[in-house]
Amino acid sequence: MITTQRFLLRPLIADDVGNKYLSWLNAEESSYIGLTYSDGKYVKNHVSMEELKAYVSERQNRRNVLFLGIFTKKKQHIGNIKYEPIDYKGKTAVMGILIGDSDWRGKGVAIEVIKASAHYLAERYGVTTIFLGVNQNNKAAVSAYQKVGFKIKEQNKNSIQMVWQL
């Protein structure tokens, strides 16, 4: 478990999947979020409860995945952060984050959680570089990532690839 000033980050398990979590993925404002499976299958919006539970279960106990739920100190699940895949030899990881609970958006959650979890990855696994992809229209996310220290590596018509050297 990783503790920040306001949050507890712990491995996400299938039992954490409920209607609230499912609603985050199927909401209109979640148009930037989808599920990418290890076989390359990508599901966006209209995710079923069974698909979501299977997605979370598939990541449990995988050595190259760190999938953490973001919980308030009162144990309210407000989002997730995931590093997948983690390349131990290359010392890199690919990150994705979802602040699902709209009451917590715009309150610095992403910055606090990314910094704490990246520090954990660096200390525990020797990760030195984190990559992410973001829709260029998601200005709030791009701004948060830049505040953390991510730099734009590549940009195309719809997406921005960012990198952070820890």
Tell me the average pLDDT across 7-16.
97
Q: Are 82 and 3 in contact (CB under 8 A)?
A: no
Number of domains making up the chain: 1
Task: Give the residue-averaged pLDDT of 23-52.
Answer: 67
What does the block give as tokens for 163?
């990198």
Question: How far is it, in rounded angstroms, from Cα 116 to Cα 131?
Answer: 16
Model confidence over 120-140: pLDDT tens digits? 999 999 999 999 999 898 999
Tokens read off for 88: 């131990």
Which residues, 6 or more positions from 102, have their beta carbon under 8 angstroms from its beta carbon? 29
Percent of the chain residues past pLDDT 70, beyond the cut:
89
Which domain, by its residues, includes 43?
2-165
The label of the residue with tokens 């820890």 reads 166
Which amino acid, 34?
G
56: Cβ contacts below 8 Å, ≥ 6 apart: 12, 13, 14, 16, 17, 67
Q: What is the pLDDT of residue 39?
A: 54
User: CATH number of the domain that 69 lies in?
Assistant: 3.40.630.30
DSSP annotation of 85 reads E
The tens digit of pLDDT for each residue in 38-65 reads: 555 545 557 889 989 999 999 998 999 9
Q: How far apart are CA 86 and CA 84, in angstroms?
A: 5
Query: Quick count: other Cβ atoms within 10 Å of Cβ 31?
Result: 12
Q: What is the pLDDT of residues 60-95, one digit of tens each?
A: 989 999 999 999 999 999 999 999 999 999 999 999
